[in-house]
Every structure is written in structure tokens, then in C-alpha cells.
Amino acid sequence: MQKYLDQKKCIFEIGADSKRVYREYGPDKERHKHSVPEWIGGPGEKVEASVRKINAIGFLEAADKAGLPFKLKIAEGGIRIVVDSREIQAKITEFGWEPGGATVAYAKLLIKDYLGNEHVLKIEYEGYGIAKSEIIAEQAREILAIHYNDPLKELVLTYKKGTHERKRAIALEYVENVRITKGNLDSCEGYVSTDLFKEARGFSSFEKGKAGCKIAEEVLRKSDFKALRIATTSNNIPGQGDKRFDIFDVSGYSNHEFIGCEVKLTTVSELDMRQDLESNRTKQQLLAHIATWNDPHWRYRAKGDPAVKKGLIISIYIDRESGQFKLVSKGIELSQHGGEK
């Protein structure tokens, strides 16, 4: 065996019938470290076995057949990780034997996100049983599941951290715009952009407000609103010139009529979204902003500003796991005296 393995450190396979097991070989390695499990053969038992070297490609081909949470596509052009409908180019960065007394071979695959950041997947396999995969962050974490979120062009990995499950997303492409998949201004759903999704995972109160306004702006644009403006400050604090429009979260023209909007966004639940829509507090906020805008003595009022006769409440829910949003809205029509009809 020493002659066959060429006196060099390597990973080799011991096979007997249909059974296989991997071992590490080294010229200075103690012989008992090459022992095999009893299900191949016990002490004193005569077993006909084969021995062959294993390289990184052979290891990955075997691991691929042994139940990884993703598939591997190995061809002359290199290695690709296949998840659902997506193929991701990968590069082998390491192949070896796990140190520290473990009896398992491993390979590391590197993939890159759209910014060029590197992410490392580690595959472990003993030559039998089920192969194991991990994502390397601060330390290796076992991957429990992986899927491709096509609307956001990202891989979503579910991994184990202690006794808990966690998720990690790897964005493969940059998604620039909010996309509406069905519905209209009354009720619709779709997916946020890459930037808004990043904000959704770590909202401050101001970022949350900005994200809601950007989603509302896109839905209003698709509903033929013109000259749309979104608030540039938090808490609807207006100012001179164009800053006066900050009294509304979003404003614009529909059929030549100027409409001011109050936008609410939640990441809690769809129920929370609908409660915001029907909230009396939300309605009173919008009515107060409209009253301020329509006040002829308002210090920021500009000559020729149109009166607001209709308002719109827009309530949005974002799922922080998938990036999907749902939006509902309802109009408020004002009487001649400025109150709600």
C-alpha cells in the first residue's frame, strides 16, 4: 500500500463489496490509524478489499450522491452548486483530512456574491452514510436547508447555531427596483429591491419610514400617479420650498388631482398591516396633515399650491425572510369644511 500511495500524504478509499470508507494516509502515520469500521471486517477476518487514492473531484462526486442539501454539477468548465433553478459557480479552495482526531475528509468551496464578497461552504464525508455541509462564518455551522429566492436573486441558507435555527442570505445579483407581481393600488403584493431588503433586516425608525415610502411611490407610479414626491425627513417636518411637500409621506397627482398620503409599514404581520390601515390614529394623522396643507395662512404655503380634497392611507407589510411585501390602501374624501365625508 505504501508503494501504491507513493509515500505521500493523501486521502484514500478502502472498499469491500459495496462498502466504502475514507482514510488519511501519511508515511509517518501509525498503522492503527488506517483501521476500518467493523462493518467492513473485524480483526482476523479475511476480507477482499480495494484501495485507491481520492482527489477533490472524486470526493465531491461521491459526496454529491450522499445527500447534500444542494446538488453539485461537475464538468470541464468547473464546479457549480445547483439550488432549485439556479447554478452558482464555485471554486475548490481546500481538500484534506479534518484535523483534531476526526475521521472525515473535507473540501471547501468558495462562492461570491454580487459585490465580490467570498462565502465558503465546507463539505464533509466519511465515504459512507450522509454527507454533511457547513457554512463558514465566524465558525462552521451545519447547513440544514438551502433554497434559491428567485425574486431577490439570493441563496437562503438555514443553519444550526447551538439549539436554534438561523438564516443567512447570499445575494447573487443586484435587484434595483421594487416589483409588483399582482394586484393594484387597493391591494397588491410583490418584492422589494436589494437595498430595501437590507434595510428591512435592520430597520431604524427612519429607514423603516423611507422604505415604506419607496414601496408606496412605486405602486402609485404603476397606478398612473404623476409628479410623485416622498418625504425627505422623519416625522413629516416640512420646510421652505420643495420641503413643504414633506408634510405628507408621499404626494402626487391622480387624474390632475393632488393627493396626500400617509404610509405605514410593519414587519410584524399582515394583521398588523390591516390594523394600521383601519387605525383611527392613522386617519387623524393624515387629516391633520391635510388641514395644515390647506391652511391659507400656513407659513410654507406657496402661491398656486392645489388644495387637497382626497387623502390616501397606505399600509404595507414586509416579510423580512423572503423580501415579499403586501400593500393595502383606502381613500379619505374631505367635505367642503375640511373634515372627512
Q: What is the pLDDT of residues 187-246, one digit of tens each?
A: 999 999 988 887 776 665 556 778 899 999 999 999 999 999 999 877 788 888 889 999
CATH number at residue 190: 3.40.1350
Tell me how many domains the chain contains. 2
In a domain, 241, yes or no: yes
Do 92 and 191 lie in a common domain?
no
Residues 202, 158, single domain; the answer is no
- In tens, the pLDDT along 263-314 reads 999 989 999 999 999 999 999 999 999 999 999 999 999 999 999 999 999 9
**Cβ proximity of 157 and 68 under 8 Å:** no
**Predicted pLDDT of residue 11:** 87
Residue where a domain terminates, one of 146, 171, 196? 171
Is the alpha carbon torsion for 201, 206, 207, 211 positive or negative? positive
- Please say which residue of 148, 171, 194 terminates a domain: 171
Given a cut of 80, whether residue 136 has pLDDT beyond it is yes
Distances (CA, A) of 263 to 83, 221, 334: 37, 15, 18
Closest CA to 115 of 86, 153, 70: 153
Give yes or no for residue 125 having a pLDDT over 70. yes
- Across the range 247-252, mean pLDDT stands at 96
Q: Is residue 314 part of a domain?
A: yes
Domain interval for residue 261? 179-295+306-333
- Please, which residues have CB within 8 angstroms of residue 179's CB and are 6 or more apart in sequence? 151, 190, 191
Inter-residue contact 265 to 212 (CB < 8 Å): yes
Instruction: Check pLDDT > 80 for residue 339.
Output: no
Checking if the pLDDT of 337 tops 50, the result is no
**Average pLDDT value over all residues in the chain:** 86
Ranking 25-29, 74-78, 115-119, 292-296 by mean pLDDT, the lowest is 25-29
Reply yes or no on whether the pLDDT at 71 is more than 60: yes
For residues 10 and 208, the model is more confident at 10
What is the percentage of the chain residues whose pLDDT exceeds 70? 86
Quick one: 215 and 152 in the same domain?
no
